[in-house]
Amino acid sequence: MTTYTELPSMQESLLDVAGKKIFVAETGDGPPVLLLHGGGPGASGVSNYQRNIGELAKQYRVIVPDLPGYGRSTKGVDGADPFGHLADAIRGLLDELGLDRAHLVGNSYGGACALRLALDTPDRVDRMVLMGPGGVGTTRALPTPGLNSLLNYYSGDGPSRLKLEKFIRTYLVFNAADVPDGVIDARYRDSIDPEVVAAPPLRRPKSLRAVWRMDFTRDARLSRLLVPTLVLWGAADKVNRPSGGRMLAGRMPNCDLYEVANTGHWVQFERAELFNRLCADFLAGRR
């Protein structure tokens, strides 16, 4: 049976970043690593990385924020430039923490945040690990069924536990049984926070300009981004197409690609032991 290190005790704080509150949990000593979570309903930093924090904290100072719009952070994301909004907030968080540079690890929405931050200010990023990041080739094909399920969560008849369970078990992971009911229960409770329902942080772009801006493969800076990057992509990802990994590897000068068999969109959760090993080694420059 696969086992996972239990979460260590974590120091929690609510920091002011440009007038907004960002919740942060951290633990461990060493080079700073920010873990940026995905954008699914009810997501938060610690819950998304529950199988990784303990292992990474053996070598790194692990900093786990709730992205704007999620968890205990201030709600609302700028729909005209959501990736830029997230990147600005995390850059401001680095400033508040007194960090000139840090490693960034980002899954899905958090991966898009990390990539945008690196494109805008590459001097603030040491190394990046991206897992099925958003914003890769999104203008080159129609949205996947998994992404449609995600984007439709708050529309129609509104959020429900059944809707969330279908998204997680059908589209988020390869093996539906890998996700405990408790994870879905907790995420559903967070997803129906009245502030979140009033301003969902992940929505369909409302303008062509926003659509174009949210596709990194349309950004000429991508081919000049020298930040060493490891892309991990589940071969069975039903939310963001695995072909996105090959797009990034083909454009970024220092990008390694690892496609993970029998794995969906949640690599760090579904294949935690593999992820923890690859991530720790890559950030340390051992691969």
Residues near 182 by Cβ (< 8 Å), separated by ≥ 6?
none
Model confidence at 90, pLDDT cuts 50, 70, 90, reads very high
Which residues, other chains included, contact 184 with Cβ-Cβ below 8 Å and sequence gap of 6+?
Answer: 161, 164, 165, 168
Closest alpha carbon to 30 in 62, 60, 58? 60
At 241, give phi and psi (nearest 5°): -60, 135
What is the rounded average pLDDT of the residues 11-22? 96
Residue type at 241?
A: R
Taking a C-beta distance cutoff of 8 angstroms, is the pair 111, 36 a contact? Answer: yes
pLDDT confidence band for 207 (50 / 70 / 90): confident
- In the residue annotation, 265 being an active-site residue is answered as yes
Whole-number Å distance between alpha carbons of 27 and 278: 20
pLDDT in tens, 45-57: 999 999 999 999 9
Q: Which of 133-142, 220-229, 264-273 has the lowest mean pLDDT?
A: 133-142
Catalytic site residue from 37, 85, 103, 265 = 265
Q: pLDDT at residue 3 above 80?
A: no
CA–CA separation, 60 and 75 (whole Å): 29
DSSP state of 224: G
C-alpha–C-alpha distance, residues 90 and 102, integer Å: 11
Model confidence pLDDT, tens digit, residues 228-264: 999 999 999 999 999 999 999 999 999 999 999 999 9
Q: What is the mean pLDDT of the chain?
A: 95
Measured N-to-C along each axis, helices 109-120 and 82-96 cross at an angle, to the nearest 10 degrees, of: 70
Task: Give the list of residues 6+ apart from residue 152 with CB closer than 8 angstroms, or none.
Answer: none
